[in-house]
Amino acid sequence: MSDPRDELAAADVISGGGEDFSAFAVSRWPGLVRLAFGLTGDRWAAEDLAQATLARAYVAWRRVSRADDPDAYLRRILVNASNRRFRRHRVTEQPGDPPETAVEGPAELVSDRAALLAALRQLPPRQRAVVVLRYWEDLTDAQIAATLGCSPGTVRSQLSRALAKLRESPALGEGEDR
């Protein structure tokens, strides 16, 4: 069942501003997919998540376009959608292998991408989100806190715990290059 307010908002967007949204969506697509891939570890799920994020942003385009930081608004939508997806499919869903074609971004610099993604999958969703937002999206504590709806202190503690777990992760193996 859909909310009638969403339908009215969608009608407003369709009647004017659709070109603005199209340009916005095209320019943000690669970053959304990259962030979603970091959260899910699956290329196809990442694209689905990015598409769902843009669909929600389209319905709320008036609010998104007027936001102080539309990118932060999009990241928040994406992280919330990822958390909903995780809760809904927690028991049965297993992220797939990394994509055969590289996703543009800092993750290409990691020599053993599969090991990193396996280690990230072992983290709880909030810790995984903090690590991805910090190191893949290069956001500050304040930006991450705004995205996740928590304090910067919580971001720092979640990041510290996540990094400690990653250091101990058997998926990353032993070695001096860790």
122 shares a domain with 54: no
Residue 87's pLDDT band (cuts 50, 70, 90):
low
79 shares a domain with 38: yes
Q: State residue 4's pLDDT score.
A: 46
Residue 105's pLDDT band (cuts 50, 70, 90):
low
Q: State residue 40's pLDDT score.
A: 85
55 shares a domain with 120: no
Give the pTM.
0.56
Lowest mean pLDDT across 6-20, 53-67, 149-163 = 6-20
Question: Which CATH number goes with the domain that contains 86?
Answer: 1.10.1740
Contact 77, 57 (CB under 8 A): yes
Average pLDDT over residues 24-48: 89
Contact 75, 133 (CB under 8 A): yes
Residue 15's pLDDT band (cuts 50, 70, 90):
very low
Quote the domain boundaries for residue 59. Answer: 1-100
Question: Which CATH number goes with the domain that contains 123?
Answer: 1.10.10.10
What is the Cα–Cα distance from 12 to 28, expressed in whole angstroms? Answer: 22
With a CB cutoff of 8 Å and minimum separation 6, the contacts of 6 are 59
User: Per the domain annotation, does 106 fall within a domain?
Assistant: no
CB-count burial class (<10 Å; 0-12, 13-18, 19+) for 158 = buried
The two structure tokens encoding residue 40: 């899910």
Lowest mean pLDDT across 60-64, 74-78, 114-118 = 114-118
User: Per the domain annotation, does 70 fall within a domain?
Assistant: yes
User: Per the domain annotation, does 31 fall within a domain?
Assistant: yes
Average pLDDT over residues 112-125: 82
81 shares a domain with 141: no
Residue with the larger pLDDT of the pair 91 and 40 = 40
Number of domains in the chain: 2
Residue 150: how many CA atoms within 13 Å on its side-chain side? 17
Residue with the larger pLDDT of the pair 88 and 59 = 59
